[in-house]
Structure 1
Amino acid sequence: MTHDHDVVLRPTAAQTEAALNPPPGRTGGDLVIETLQGLGATTVFGLPGQHALGMFDALRRSSLSYVGLRTENSAGFAADAYGRITGEVAPLLLSTGPGALMSLAALQEAAAGSAPVLAIGSQVPTAGLGGGRHGYLHELRDQRASFRDIVKSTHTARTPSQIPSATAAAWESALTAPHGPVWVEIPQDVLLAPTVLPVVTAMDATPDDVLPRPELTALAAHLLAGAERPAIVAGGGVVRSDASGKLRALAERINAPVVTTFGGKGAFPWTHPLSLQSWLEDRHTTDFLEDADVLLVIGSGLGELSSNYHTFAPRGRVIQIEADAGKLESNHPGIGIHADARIALSALLETVDARPDATAPERVRTLLAQVRTRIEAQDLTLERQVLDSVRMALPDDAPSFWDMTILAYWAWSAFDARRPNTMHSAQGAGGLGYAFPAALGAAEADPTRPVLAVSGDGGAMYSIAELATAKQYGYPVTWLIVDDGGYGILREYMTDSFGEATATELTRPDFTALAHSFGVDAVRTDPDRLTEDLAKALATPGPSVVVLPALLKMFAPTHL
């Protein structure tokens, strides 16, 4: 009896000929690169190191594009952004020990932001594995253990034959909802070993969809259609699964106001009559969501920032759609639906009855007026002017990347992203140095659009070396550096809590002169000229830096 898969697995004559006559001079490193090509990769990020040279040598025998950054952490941030923008796996090639460990902060952000990064690191020679006592350069007692608590899965290939399968398994894990980073490690001698294995051909590592259970869809549809005051919280999962259109269709069908989390910026139109925007650090918004008799949470775990620092206490029924099973009911009890956001929203749209409600837009307008009145009562004219200037200068479809700086904290709540998947920040893990290298990764993903990076002077120093990368590749990235002479947000936190700040003041370079030394255009601006200078920089090919000396303040918190 013949099965269909028997036919699929039978090699063609050309495949047989190629398998019997592989090109000479190949190594385990070639198997890594061939596997990536067979899985569909076109670009890899990374930084070479002694134990990883077998992979990097194989790159020159391939058609893959290589983007080399100046630190492994920056390379990880660039890969993170490439994965977010494209929705494809971003390979990240690393060396052993210090090189590998330097990527951990970036991989933590990729895990928090659900970015599909495939980190492939070298290891000490096979004879040195498992002990940490052999004296090899870069040796760790258990390198894999350093990654196990951060990435979705870890994989090891200890022979050349294991490389394709280990890499494909990691690729599938990275793309399984929720997306995330994975780790593969291969000893130096395995990467350098000659191989007579055939060239790796196309491989299929497509993960299965995460489907909602039909009884849960039916219950959710019934509760939403019968609700008096439904509301929706849309998180980053809506953006990652490209479900913003379906979210809007559902919200309009049941007339439910929608608030987007800071990770879900752009998931719902900012000026839509049902849009509560993103004012999550606001007691008026928190009260509105607590008053909902049915709250639909899509693609969010309702963590610290999405719950107004865990002060949010819903009084109605909570329905949570989440691809990460570990986040279901992790902060609030409810009906947990383990599913990809796009598929779950499709199922709801096929099931839920329309719910007429002429009062919902008025309730939204009332809330936004309350928020506006609160902000206008504070002396924050400069902050609002700067954020408005950035919005006016930035094209609607241009992606932006924001470091952990006061202007980014403002942007989380007050910036209109205008398009899904265009505003990204390091708010998942909260590390510094994210914005500029991430913007470089986005420019590699789509060099036809300008990209904006926003940093403070403290965060900028984490990735200042990547000005050389930007110049080397000619990326259309504009870097806005808000220079307030230190770690501004920490200065505010410490002053508020302790009366004065410690360890927050910084000596910094002349950023415009430093950029010029890299051959990068730079200008020093002020709030009145910011829109003009930023728009000009964004419209000019290649990298540029805009420095804004300004001491910005945060709006008063309302979660206390």
Structure 2
Amino acid sequence: MTHDHDLELRPTPAQTEAALNPPPGRNGGDLVVETLAGLGATTVFGLPGQHALGMFDALRRSDLRYIGLRVENNAGFAADAYGRVTGEAAPLLLSTGPGALTSLAALQEAASASAPVLAISSQIPTAGLGGGRHGYLHELPDQAASFRGVVKSVHTVRAASQIPSAIAAAWKSALSAPHGPVWVEIPQDVLLAETSLPVVTAVDAAPEELLPRPELTAVAADLLARAQRPAIIAGGGVVRADASGKLRQLAERLNAPVVTTFGGKGAFPWNHPLSLQSWLEDRHTTDLLEDADVLLVVGSGLGELSSNYHTFAPRGRVIQIEADLGKLESNHPALGIHADARMALQALLETVPERADASARERVSTLLAKVAERIDAQELALEQQVLSSVRRALPDDSPSFWDMTILAYWAWSAFDAKAPNAMHSAQGAGGLGYGFPAALGAAAADPSRPVLAVSGDGGALYSIAELATARQYDLNVTWLIVDDGGYGILREYMTDTFGQATATELSRPDYVALAESFGVPGIRTSPEALEADLTKALAAPGPSVVVLPALLRMFAPTHLG
């Protein structure tokens, strides 16, 4: 019996001829880059190393664009941002042992934020594998074990013919909801060995759709239809699923107030009459959410930051839509719907009726007025002035990337992202050094618009080497460094807890002079001149640094009623 699909697999004469006569001089590294190109990758990030040279040499024979950073962790942050901005799996090429391990903090952030990163690491030669002590440079007893608890999936290669399928499987894993980082390991000798395998051309790795179960969406729709005081928490899953439009439709149909988590910035329009914005570190917001008789949580696990430091205690029914199975009901009992946010919201839109509620918008405006009154009572005019200046200077369609610094903590709650997928920070895992290298990755993804990076002086010291990367590739990133002489947020935490701070004060360089030594224009600004200086820097092509000496304070959060 002959099936129709059998005929589709038959190669054309030209394909057969090309397969039987592959170009000479190819090796395992060529199979890597050919597979990446076949999957649709156009840009790769990374850092070369002894065992990985086969991959890097093969780049010379491919059309892939290579962006080389100076530290593997920074390369991981750049790939993370590229994945977030494009929705593609960003290849990250790493060497063995120390090189690979240096990327772990970046991969943890990608995992926490569901950013698709395809890390491909070399390994010592196959003769040294097996957990022994063979004395190879960079040798680990079990390199894959170092990644298994961090990334979404691990794929090990031990022969050249395994390379295309392993990378395709990893690609599919990275882009199936929930998105995340994946890791592929290929030994040095496999990368270097010549291959007679045909050029990799047809690679199928379409991600699987994560559809909601209809009996669950039916119950959710019924709960929402009968709700008297519905409310919505929109997390990063809404952004990753490109579901902000469907979220808005559902919120308007239900007349339900919407708050976005810090990872979900931009998932709902900031100035919409139903927008509670992002004031999650505020008891007024917590009270409103607790008072909801039906709370719809979309794309959030309701973790520490999203639950006002675990003080949030909902009194009504919770419906949780989440692509990450482990996050379903991990913090609160709920009707758990394991699904991609876009698919689940679409299912609800098809069944949830219009709901009239004249009081919903009034409750939103009343709450925002209470929040503003609380913040204004704390004498934080400088902090609000600085954040407003940044917002006015940054073009509406430009993305921003924020390090773990006091101004970023403000931005989580008080910054209008203007659009979905436009504001990003390291709030997933909370590591330092994210802002600038991530912005470089975003600029590589879209060179047509400027990108803003925001760091404190402590976080900036993690990323200084990447000024060379910014200059080498002429990337359109303006780096705002708020210099307060140390780890500002830790200084506040320690002072509040112990009465004084220890290990938070830093000797640091003249950042303007340092930037200029890399050939990057730098300027020292003031709160009064910040908007003008930042506007000018963002409008100029290529990289730039703006240094703001300022001691900013964090607003006092309210956890308790």
Does residue 492 of the first structure (1) align with residue 502 of the second (2)?
no
Indicate the residue corresponding to 1:150 in structure 2: 150
Post-superposition CA distance 1:266-314 (Å, at most 9, x none): 0000000000000000000001000000000000000000000000000
Amino acid at match of 2:53: L
TM-superposed CA distance for 1:225, in Å, is 1.2
Q: Does 1:530 align with 2:530?
A: yes
The question of whether the paired residues in 1 share the 8 Å contact of 2:172 and 2:208 is answered with no
Shift of 1:406: 0.1
The 2-side partners of 1:146 and 1:208 are apart by: 27
Q: Does 1:480 align with 2:480?
A: yes
| Equivalence for 1:126 | 126
Shift of 1:131: 2.0
The residue identity in structure 1 corresponding to 2:492 is E
CA contact (8 A) 1:132 1:139 kept: no
1:465 alignment counterpart: 465
Matched, 1:547 2:556: no
CA change 1:385–1:132 in 2 (3 A) is farther
Matched, 1:432 2:432: yes
Task: Report if the CA contact (8 A) 1:520-1:543 is conserved.
Answer: yes
Q: Which residue of 1 aligns with 2:105?
A: 105
- CA contact under 8 A between 1:117 and 1:174: conserved in structure 2? yes
1:47 maps to a residue whose letter is: L
For 1:415 and 1:2, the matched residues in 2 are separated by: 61
Residue pair 1:47, 1:93 contacting (<8 A) in 2 also = yes
Q: Is the 8 A contact 2:35 2:167 kept in 1?
A: yes
User: How far apart are 1:480 and its partner, in Å?
Assistant: 0.1
Q: Secondary structure at the match of 1:111?
A: helix
2:525, 2:546 within 8 Å by CA — same for their partners in 1? yes
Give CA deviations for 1:76-109 in whole Å, capped at 9, x if unaligned. Answer: 0000000000000100000000000000000000
Task: Tell me, in whole angstroms, the C-alpha distance in 2 between the residues paired with 1:335 and 1:215.
Answer: 11
In terms of mean alpha carbon deviation, does 207-216 or 448-457 score higher? 207-216
**Gaps (5+ residues) in structure 2?**
none
Is the partner of 1:516 in helix, strand or coil?
Answer: helix
* Secondary structure, counterpart of 2:485 in structure 1: coil
Cα distance in 2 for partners of 1:398, 1:510 equals 28
Residue 448 of structure 2 corresponds to residue 448 of structure 1: yes
State the match for 2:5 in structure 1: 5
What do residues 321-346 of structure 1 show as CA deviations (whole Å, max 9, x unaligned)?
Answer: 00011111010001000100011111
> Partners of 1:420 and 1:299 in 2: how far apart?
14
User: What is the alpha-carbon distance in structure 1 between the residues aligned to residue 139 and residue 132 of structure 2?
Assistant: 6
Identity value in percent? 83
The reply to whether residue 245 of structure 1 matches residue 245 of structure 2 is yes
Match of 1:395? 395
Following superposition, the deviation at residue 557 of structure 1 comes to: 1.7
- The one-letter amino acid of 1:536's match is K
Which residue is equivalent to 1:521? 521
* Match in the other structure for 1:291: 291
Deviation, structure 1 residue 202? 2.1
Map of 2:76 onto structure 1:
76
Matched, 1:180 2:180: yes
SS at match of 1:432: coil
Residues 388-427 of structure 1 mapped to structure 2, 5 A cutoff:
388-427=388-427
Deviations 1:4-51 (A, max 9, x none): 321221111111001100000110111111111111111100000000
1:207 Cα deviation (Å)? 1.7
Q: Which amino acid aligns with 2:281?
A: E
1:147-178 Cα distance to aligned partner (Å, 9 max, x none): 00000000111000111111111110001100
Letter aligned with residue 514 of structure 1: L
Supply the distance in 2 between the matched residues of 1:499 and 1:305 (Cα, whole angstroms): 25
Q: What's the counterpart of residue 206 of structure 1?
A: 206
**Which stretch of structure 1 is more off in the superposition, 123-132 or 382-391?**
123-132
Kept in 1, the 8 Å contact 2:487–2:504? The answer is yes
Q: 1:379, CA displacement in angstroms?
A: 1.2
Q: Distance in 2 between matches of 1:428 and 1:130?
A: 35
Q: Could you tell me how far apart the structure 2 residues matched to 1:60 and 1:5 are?
A: 37
CA shift digits 1:461-520 (9 cap, x unpaired): 000000000000111100000000000000000000000000000000000000000000
Task: Give 1:2 shift.
Answer: 2.4
Name the aligned partner's letter for residue 254 of structure 1.
L
Contact 2:308/2:559 (CA < 8 Å) preserved in 1?
A: yes
Mapped contact 1:256–1:360 kept (Cα < 8 A): yes
**2:343 is aligned with 1:350:** no
Structure 1 residues not aligned, in runs of 5+: none
Q: Distance in 1 between matches of 2:509 and 2:117?
A: 33
| Residue in structure 1 matched with residue 381 of structure 2 by the alignment | 381
Alignment of 1:191-270 (within 5 A): 191-270=191-270
Note the C-alpha offset of 1:544: 0.2
Distance 2:131 2:229 in 1: 60
Measured against aligned partners, the alpha-carbon deviations of 1:501-548 in whole angstroms (never above 9, x if no partner) come to: 000000000000000000001100000000000000000000000000
Q: What one-letter code is carried by the residue in structure 2 that aligns with 1:288?
A: L
Equivalence for 2:19: 19
Contact 1:132 1:142 in 2 (8 A): no
Q: Which stretches of structure 1, 4 residues or more, deviate above 3 A after TM superposition?
A: none
The aligned amino acid for 2:538 is L
Instruction: Give me the TM-score of the superposition, normalised by structure 2.
Output: 0.99
Counterparts of 2:162 and 2:537 in 1: how far apart (Å)? 48
Please give the secondary structure, in 1, of the residue aligned with 2:418: coil
- Measure the CA separation in 2 of the matches of 1:32 and 1:284: 53
Q: CA deviation at 1:3?
A: 1.9
The total of aligned residue pairs comes to 560
Q: Distance in 1 between matches of 2:5 and 2:124?
A: 40
405-414 or 211-220, which moves further after superposition? 211-220
Amino acid at match of 2:230: P
Distance 1:97 1:134 in 2: 14
Letter in 2 for 1:556: A
2-side partners of 1:132 and 1:450: how far apart? 50
Residue 500 of structure 2 aligns to which amino acid in structure 1? E
Indicate if the aligned counterparts of 2:125 and 2:187 stay in contact, CA closer than 8 A: yes
Structure 2 partner of 1:506: 506
CA distance in 2, matches of 1:167, 1:237: 25
The answer to whether the 8 Å contact 2:91/2:117 transfers is yes
- Structure 1 letter corresponding to 2:344: A
SS in 1 for 2:160: coil
Cα distance in 1, alignment partners of residues 4 and 36 from structure 2: 27
Q: Which residue pairs with 1:362 in the alignment?
A: 362
Tell me how far apart the structure 1 counterparts of residues 233 and 9 of structure 2 sit (CA, whole Å): 46
Query: d(CA) in 2 for partners of 1:510 and 1:28?
Result: 46
C-alpha RMSD of the superposition: 0.6
Q: Distance in 1 between matches of 2:132 and 2:447?
A: 44
Give, in whole Å, the separation in 1 of the partners of 2:507 and 2:208.
51
AA aligned opposite 2:260: T
